[in-house]
Structure 1
Amino acid sequence: MTADTAGQRLETIRSYFRKVDEKDPTLSDLFTDDVRFFFPKFGPAQGKAALARFSERFGREVASLVHDLDGLVFTVDGDRIAVEGQERGVTRGGVSWPDGEISQGRFCTVFEFDGPLIRRIHIYVDPDFTNADQRRVHLFREDAPAATPREVAERYLQGMQAFRANPTAPETLAELLALFDEDADWSIDGDVARVPWIGPRRGRAGVGDFFRELVTHVEPRRFEVRTILADDETAVILGDLASLVKATGRLIESAFAFDMTVRDGRITRYRMFEDSHAVARAV
């Protein structure tokens, strides 16, 4: 390969990164028709149509992307050129990366050429641009891993059981509240004008107010959990309960669902769903 050919290919690579950043529709002109492609989580693919599919899917997640063209480092080996560099971007949700601590925006892309055109491109980068995979972040940084949503749901049920058994003990309520984020968004729908303990609450302090008000109005009689459903950020607890309203002596019987959003081992959003009509009638 002559020096002129190498120089032309390096300029093609720079053009590739510029076109990616500018979302230039002529990007495909840089590739052979049967180009082979790889990106983590997308997997291997072949052909310009596959590149177009990847670009469309990538665009659903990333609103903007900028590569540091001046900082690119090239390693040339015949028809293969490896490129190391850094990038920055913003997701469709408005989250920017890198953070300069965990995410560095570093990548390595390997190009292979057929004459002036790219016939193979393999991109090696962490697609978790904004560190959403906190469990692996904790794992590789040797921090204590955050509790999973299922684990948090199980601890919540344990805390509820301890609180019901001894509602006046400060430590039982403190252990329960420790599961919530400082700015937790809490709400139980229903007739707030008639039922004093339901409605929206804000923050850990507001959740504490709920539990303190609840025990002044209601005496638990039955609480049965049927199942816990959980994924990466959500846990849902399904069951049945019965509670006695102290002021009226009437019994509330209802199925329930606790819907929790959990991030970094803390409940950030909580919704309880029950038979709000039965609750209002019993008060």
Structure 2
Amino acid sequence: MSNLTEETRKVARTWFEALTSGDFETALNTLDENVEWINYSIVPGYNDDMKWIGTVHGREAVLGTLQIFTGAVDVKSERLINLVADGDQAFGVIDEVSVVKETGVEFHIEFIQSLTVRDGKIVRWKSYTDPSEIIRALRGDKPEEVAV
């Protein structure tokens, strides 16, 4: 494994351990001051119920989006289930169970976070998931019971 890959893996592991344990100070300290944070693309009328999504730049802007998220959603569990690092790129798969505070409806998702690491800091972060479960919960729609 190259030194670059080892450094990327170390930064990514610190990010994911801090994130999944709720240690936002440590998590934010892994981000470059001018980080590019891409949390989905907004599609008006579809996923814009998720007020924390979109692209922002800088650690303070990221903190703002995280505050919007944690104001709307109570994270019950979040765990890293896979981490791959190569060169300055890392990809983590996260399993999350959360409840929307306003509706009381739970959602369960898996999502991928793509990280680019330079000089020991995350300079680019991008998230990928199917947001349908989140949107359903935000709108207060409970999941259908599945007949067996």
Q: TM-score range by the shorter chain?
A: 0.7 to 0.9
Residue 276 (structure 1) shift: 1.1
The alignment status of 1:177 with 2:23, answered yes or no, reads no
Residues 6-85 of structure 1 correspond to what in structure 2 (within 5 A)? none
Residue in structure 2 matched with residue 46 of structure 1 by the alignment: none
Residue in structure 2 matched with residue 253 of structure 1 by the alignment: 108
Residue in structure 2 matched with residue 193 of structure 1 by the alignment: 48
Residue in structure 1 matched with residue 19 of structure 2 by the alignment: 160
- Of residues 204-213 and 185-194 in structure 1, the stretch that sits farther from structure 2 once superposed is 185-194
- Of residues 186-195 and 202-211 in structure 1, the stretch that sits farther from structure 2 once superposed is 186-195
Residue 192 (structure 1) shift: 5.0
Normalised by the length of structure 2, the TM-score is 0.80
Secondary structure at the aligned position of 1:148 is classed as: helix
User: Structure 1 CA distance, aligned partners of 2:94 and 2:18?
Assistant: 16
61, 73, 81: which one aligns with 1:218: 73
Secondary structure at the aligned position of 2:77 is classed as: strand
What runs of 5+ residues in structure 2 fail to find an aligned partner?
Answer: 139-148
Q: How many residues align?
A: 132
The alignment status of 1:148 with 2:7, answered yes or no, reads yes
| Percentage of matched positions with identical amino acids | 26
Residue 173 (structure 1) shift: 2.8
Asked if the contact 2:112/2:127 (under 8 Å) is kept, the reply is: yes
Residue in structure 1 matched with residue 146 of structure 2 by the alignment: none
Asked if the contact 1:192/1:199 (under 8 Å) is kept, the reply is: no
Amino acid at match of 2:106: L
Residue in structure 2 matched with residue 231 of structure 1 by the alignment: 86
Cα deviation, 1:92-123, whole Å, max 9, x if unaligned, reads xxxxxxxxxxxxxxxxxxxxxxxxxxxxxxxx
Residue in structure 2 matched with residue 281 of structure 1 by the alignment: 136
Q: CA RMSD in A?
A: 2.0
User: Structure 2 CA distance, aligned partners of 1:219 and 1:181?
Assistant: 26
User: Structure 2 CA distance, aligned partners of 1:247 and 1:209?
Assistant: 19
